[in-house]
Chains A and B, each alone.
Chain A
Amino acid sequence: MSELTPKMDGNIEVKLEKTAGPWREAWRNFRKSKAAVAGMIIIIFFILLALFGPLIAKEGVNEQFAPDRFHPPSAEYWLGTDDFGRDILSRIIHGSRISLSVGFLSVIASVIVGSFLGIIAGYYGRWTDTIISRIFDIMLAFPSILLAIAIVSVLGPGLENALIAIAIINVPNFGRLIRSKVLSIKEDEYITAAKAIGMKDARILFSHILPNSMAPVIVQGTLAVATAILEAAALGFLGLGAEAPQPEWGKMLADSKAYLQSAPWTMIFPGLSIMLTVLGFNLMGDGLRDALDPKMKS
């Protein structure tokens, strides 16, 4: 694969060859897996729901209409109404925005911070590496949901703080991943070559190391979105995340606890939404892993 010519202008060619080919092949592999495609469809469905759903279901998110409390699922209210007479379907649709944005934003934040720390640790090595790696070790020494709860208990409850907490707990995962990638790439011929011809550190990082770490980050990122959504819902369920009247799925579940018997639909649908989205990201993450990086297969 790495038929690297020491010519500068050969560089672009090599890069194209290194990326375009594998990506297309990965897509072909990905398509072959039914589970992965199913996952992707679920995700696209929820993304569309989050983007366009609120335009259709404008009404009834937080609007209370007492006469229609506890309406079971019907033609008028597809998924029924809750204890305030709010339409559960529109709350779930609006809730998809919350869950997906928390999932994506927190993972993007952890990828950025994690990559930064991982690159520094891997590229510069020595004591920088030791310190950063130790910090990662320590953070990973806590069960993740517990660390999130601790952070929220310090910052105070709320959706933003839940997002921050989830972003923080995921940092070491990406940090470690990038660090190991950097370490393995660092010694590659073409990096040594680039260094030899006097390329700047920053340029090497951005034009070589980062693109080469993309695949595992995408895989890990997709799976991390799944856990982030799950953790946000857990915090909402514990009353440490989203606050009333936000239609967050975990919070909706917590509110349904009192009506398990009289109105089980208030519990079933929010939970199902969480499960499906998480399942979607898990399936797609697995599929991506098999497609992009067969070596990572466990």
Chain B
Amino acid sequence: MLSYIGRRLIQLVPVLLGMVFIVFMMIRAIPGSPAQIILGQQATPEAIAAMNAKLGLDQPWFTQFFKYLAGILQGDLGESMRTRLPVADEIWPHLAATIELAFFAIIIAIIIGINAGIISAWFQNSWFDYIAMVLALVGVSMPIFWLGLLGQWVFAIEFSWLPTTGREQVRDPVHAITNLYIIDTLLQGRFDQLWQVMRHLILPGIALATIPMAIIARMTRSSMLEVMRSDYIRTARAKGQKMFWVVYKHAFKNAVIPILTVIGLQMGMLLGGAILTETIFAWPGIGRYIYDAINFRDYPVIQSSILVIAFIFVMINLIVDLLYGLIDSRIKYD
């Protein structure tokens, strides 16, 4: 197992280097002169030279690339042109907001998706199966931003049940410790605030959860169907074991690998979907951070945020692969 992890980590090195390279080249791919675009047409030649030096465009690209890489390895993500603060300092609160939202969404997606899939497989061709699978099909095709708007319209505007924007009660802001507000409010014992934080999570969380939920439900169903046809399950049933235990324990255990793979893939996808959800719900996460940075042409922020998300994405995929191996071996010895 250890040597497998080691091998996987070594394999990752060229991919990570390539990612850094692509992100590094972004600014050089801008048509025209980036410094000019940032500073404007009437910038003085001195200002442009200074900006070029700041962006590292005054040096050959390979020199600059290694400098950039060295900086990143030391945790230097550049400096925001908008706030003139290090991106590394600014990024965490945004990233934390996104992580909280994404976790909330994936948990909803897993709980509802897996159960819906199991029940659908259990009662194959029942009305529940049909409705669930039609909903799942629609869910897969759902533009997340439309779903967000629909949710806002129905739950926040027409019925005023849920807050429309933000992640906390503005008049009673959460005192940030970790910036993961669920944890922060728990640490401070502020259950009233925790309740508010949860309320703010619901709409964006469900919007973000829909697509992975649909995919997980479909995958669970097809994987379960295959397992339930196997002799092993038939035997268990013939032995007169309770159907509930047969389904949820024996069958599910054997169907779990493809489901896990899909969940892992979807967790990565959530990071992409978060950008859209965050714009609709004014969620102060990394997606909105990037969105604002694009409007400001704040390239260091765009570059570093993309790099950080991609890094997390790769890591999630790695963890999923490793878990896969782990569960696989256990099943073999079971």
Q: Which residues of A contact B (CB under 8 A)?
A: 35, 134-135, 137-139, 141-146, 149-150, 153-156, 226, 230, 233-234, 237-238, 240, 250, 253, 256-257, 260-261, 264, 267-268, 270-271, 274-275, 278-279, 282-283, 298
Contacts and interface: CB of A to CB of B under 8 A. Distances in A.
Contact of A261 (B18, B26, B153): B153
A117 B272 CA distance: 26
B146 A141 contact: no
Given A153-B294, A153-B302, A142 B313 contact: yes
B302 A298 contact: no
B18 to A, nearest CB: 4
B157 interface: yes
B143 A146 contact: no
A185 B145 CA distance: 42
Interface string B167-181: 000000000000000
B168 to A, nearest CB: 22
Interface string B127-167: 00000000001101111111001101100011000000000
18 contacts: A135-B18, A141-B15, A141-B317, A142-B19, A143-B268, A145-B273, A146-B310, A149-B275, A150-B23, A150-B302, A154-B27, A154-B30, A155-B31, A230-B141, A234-B144, A237-B145, A261-B157, A279-B138
Contact of B26 (A144, A154, A282): A154
The size class of the interface chain B forms with chain A is 35 or more
A125 to B, nearest CB: 18
Interface string B297-312: 0000010001001100
A282 B27 CA distance: 36
A134 B152 CA distance: 42
A78 to B, nearest CB: 20
A150 B143 CA distance: 20
A142 B145 CA distance: 20
Given A153-B294, A234-B276, A260-B153, A143 B313 contact: yes
Contacts of B291: 238
A275 B153 CA distance: 17
Contact of B146 (A149, A253, A283): A253
B198 interface: no
A126 B256 CA distance: 36
B141 A138 contact: no
Contact of A137 (B18, B146, B219, B271): B18
A294 to B, nearest CB: 14
B18 A143 contact: no
B141 A143 contact: no
Contacts of A240: 294
Given A142-B310, A257-B280, A278-B141, 20 more contacts: A138-B19, A142-B306, A142-B309, A142-B313, A143-B310, A144-B272, A145-B272, A146-B310, A153-B26, A154-B30, A230-B143, A238-B275, A238-B279, A253-B145, A256-B149, A260-B152, A261-B158, A264-B153, A275-B138, A275-B141
B143 A233 contact: yes
Contacts of A253: 143, 145-146, 149
A155 B140 CA distance: 30
Given A253-B149, A274-B146, A138 B306 contact: no
B29 interface: yes
B141 A250 contact: no
B217 interface: no
Contact of B306 (A135, A146, A155, A274): A146
Task: Sort A-B residue pairs by CB-CB distance and give the 8 closest, nearest first.
Answer: A271-B146, A143-B272, A138-B18, A279-B141, A145-B272, A278-B141, A260-B153, A142-B310
A143 B269 contact: yes
Contacts of B137: 35, 279, 282-283
Contact of B275 (A137, A145, A155, A298): A145
A233 B149 CA distance: 14
Nearest to A298: B222
Contacts of A237: 143, 145, 276, 279
A256 B146 CA distance: 10
B82 to A, nearest CB: 15
A198 B310 CA distance: 46
B53 interface: no
A234 B27 CA distance: 23
A144 B272 CA distance: 7
